[in-house]
Amino acid sequence: MKKLGMQVEQIENVLSIVIKTPKGNYIFDTAEVTAMTMQGATTYQIVGEPRFEEAAPDIPKEDITMVASQANVSEEKAKDALVTTKGDIAEAILLLSRT
């Protein structure tokens, strides 16, 4: 590899790797990581099995208050319903009215 002008280095003792996206996080609990440098640019190679954790939606306070008022429940229950329905106000109200 050195003949090609490439340096390869194994990164030791990696505990976890998190790749954050708007839809959620890819989490590698165990992974092998290799850093490869060629022509001044470093590329990282991750080998492992990720798990995906969906991002919790950002729920505005006004939405929580509206759902709590419309469904006649506490703001805590309203927020839980909004998280479950990924921020869909109408769906959250329907969900709470069924229970």
Q: What does each of the 99 residues of the chain score in pLDDT, given as a tens digit?
A: 666 778 999 999 999 999 999 999 999 999 999 999 998 999 999 999 999 999 888 899 999 999 999 999 999 999 999 999 989 999 999 999 987
Between CA 34 and CA 14 the distance in angstroms is: 11
Q: At what angle do helices 75-84 and 89-98 cross, to 10 degrees?
A: 120
Domain range list for the chain: 2-54, 61-98
The pTM of the full predicted model, rounded to 2 decimals, is 0.63
Assign a CATH topology to domain 2-54.
Answer: Ubiquitin Ligase Nedd4; Chain: W; (2.20.70)
